Amino acid sequence: MENILDRFLRYVSIDTQSNEESETQPSTAKQLNLLRMLNDELRAMGVDSSIDEYGYVMASIPSNIDKDVPAVGFIAHVDTAPDASGADIKPQIIKDYDGSDIALKGVPGLFLRPSEFPEMLKYKGQTLITTDGTTLLGADDKAGVAEIMNAVQYLVEHPEVKHGPIKIGFTPDEEIGRGVVKFDVARFGAEYAYTMDGGEIGELEFENFNAASAKIHIQGRNIHPGNAKGKMRNAILIAQELNSLLPVDQRPEYTEHYEGFFHIIRFQGTVEEADFAYIIRDHDRALFEQKKDTIRRCTDFINSRYGEGTATLTLTDQYFNMREKVEPHYHIIDKAVKAMEREGIKARIQPIRGGTDGANLSFKGLPCPNIFAGGHNFHGKMEYIPLESIEAASRVILNIIDLFAE
């Protein structure tokens, strides 16, 4: 059986960064490199697996018990976030971590410090996998991919383990909110599922943000600055003015727990025109709708001040809070809690300050809470993951399968 560390390192070596500007599915062809590899690996293990035109890998392991139990699925995404490079990743392996600062050797003077990330000290004595400071690591969500594949290999190599029907899914484009747009729930065939896409060990989530994206175009008027009085409309300054109308205390850096936010994620502009984008988030649906109305009113104000057509807003819902779809099936949460307890892990049920494929799947009729993958500081050069958390997550998968078979 392949070592789970080697499997994880093999997966993160493949660049699978998604691209929100792309119109294709998947958004980048390079994601197919890993998706096809996973399909081939599953088939080589003797598992019935296929990959469709959109890049979705779906696999099925038939029941080996003589009673009817629900089919349970496990899902992870292969793409990495556009926020940082996912190419030429050079992981560092820190064995028997002693609690000191870790030099990220690809960037002189850059360290992963417990003084800045105190949760690192929870993992003294464990093996930490870090970046070298030049890229993200890709544990979000290649840790989840490795955990699922490791569990599948264990079941294949131990046919004496009794289980019901098991479904496996790997998806592209989760990081840009399009991970399961064309995912065929009926073809997948699970009654319940779990995404292995959470953070640190013990996390269990069935609440997430309601989410929207907002893209704004500002049309300015460029006049030679020597003759600009009363004529120029500087699109950069107008964009800054619109941004200043949004509540400062509702930026991500000032919010926590159930508090929502407006987060500006991109800006590009000249005097003539500017484009910028936000993500809008809130757990409460009513407050979420209020936030969308706020950005509409800000856009309207700019148009009333500078003329109709100055600001053009494109507002798109991305996903909604899965709680209303998962809570009626709370037994799947109970099973996840028990599966963690078997490993001596205390489950921490908390809202996701983000979203997963599980949210959209839940609204497609597949209740799908989210279980820890084990990593920290996703989407950036400070990302790291303890090997022991990856191993524990894979065992939790096997425990859930056992609990469904009981």
User: Angle at the Cα of 100 (from 95 to 101), degrees rounded to 5?
Assistant: 100
Burial (Cβ within 10 Å: 0-12, 13-18, ≥19) of residue 204? buried
Residues 108 and 94 in one domain: yes
How far, in Å, are 23, 193, 265, 335 from residue 338 at the CA level? 42, 16, 39, 5
Estimate to the nearest angstrom the gap between the alpha carbon of 159 and the chain centroid.
33
Residues 397 and 356 in one domain: yes
Q: Which domain CATH number covers 223?
A: 3.30.70.360
User: Angle at the Cα of 167 (from 162 to 171), degrees rounded to 5?
Assistant: 150
- DSSP tag of 327: G
Tell me if residue 331 falls in helix, strand or coil: helix
Residue 319 confidence (pLDDT): 86
Residues 281 and 154 in one domain: no
Beta strand 203-205 with 370-372: parallel, antiparallel or unpaired? antiparallel
Residues 307 and 360 in one domain: no
Choosing from 319, 345, 364, the residue where a domain stops is: 319
Residue 353 confidence (pLDDT): 84
Global pTM? Answer: 0.86
Q: Which of 220, 225, 224 is nearest to 236 (CA)?
A: 220
Residues 50 and 149 in one domain: yes
Tell me if residue 24 falls in helix, strand or coil: coil
Residue 2 confidence (pLDDT): 83
Q: Where are the alpha helices (DSSP H) in 56-196?
A: 139-157, 185-188
Helix 387-405 × helix 139-157 angle, to 10°: 50
Residues 58 and 197 in one domain: yes
Are 168 and 49 spatial neighbours (Cβ–Cβ below 8 Å)? Answer: yes
Hey, how many other C-beta atoms are within 10 angstroms of the C-beta on 35?
25
Estimate to the nearest angstrom the gap between the alpha carbon of 345 and the chain centroid.
23
Buried-state track 48-58, b at ≥16 Cβ within 10 A, e below 16: ebebeebbbbb
Distance CA 251, CA 374 (A): 26
Say how many domains are in the chain.
Answer: 2
Distance CA 268, CA 294 (A): 22
**Residue 391: beta bridge partners?**
none
**Residue 363: beta bridge partners?**
none
Residues 261 and 305 in one domain: yes
Q: Which domain CATH number covers 147?
A: 3.40.630.10
Residues 295 and 341 in one domain: no
Estimate to the nearest angstrom the gap between the alpha carbon of 19 and the chain centroid.
14
- Active site annotation includes 275: no
Residues 362 and 278 in one domain: no
Residues 340 and 302 in one domain: no
Give the pair of three-digit tokens for residue 74.
């496990």
Per-residue pLDDT of the chain (406 residues; tens, 9 = 90+): 689 999 999 999 999 999 989 999 999 999 999 999 999 999 999 999 999 999 999 999 999 999 999 999 999 999 999 999 999 999 999 999 999 999 999 999 999 999 999 999 999 999 999 999 999 999 999 999 999 999 999 999 999 999 999 999 999 999 988 899 999 999 999 999 999 998 999 999 999 999 999 999 999 999 999 999 999 999 999 999 999 999 999 999 999 989 999 999 999 999 999 999 999 999 999 999 999 999 999 999 999 999 999 999 999 998 899 999 999 999 999 999 999 999 999 999 988 887 678 889 999 999 999 999 999 999 999 999 999 999 999 999 999 999 999 9
Distance CA 367, CA 302 (A): 42
Choosing from 304, 319, 334, the residue where a domain stops is: 319
DSSP string computed for 252-315: GGG--TT--EEEEEEEEE-SSEEEEEEEEEESSHHHHHHHHHHHHHHHHHHHHHH-TTSEEEEE
From edge to edge, which strands make up the β-sheet containing 370-372?
A: 48-51, 57-61, 166-171, 72-77, 192-198, 370-372, 203-205, 348-349
Out of 79, 140, 141, 207, which one is annotated catalytic?
A: 79
Its domain, for residue 113, covers 4-208+321-405
Out of 41, 141, 147, 174, which one is annotated catalytic?
A: 174
| Amino acid symbol at 130 | T
Residues 352 and 230 in one domain: no
Residues 172 and 268 in one domain: no
Choosing from 270, 302, 319, the residue where a domain stops is: 319
- Active site annotation includes 174: yes
Distance CA 208, CA 201 (A): 18
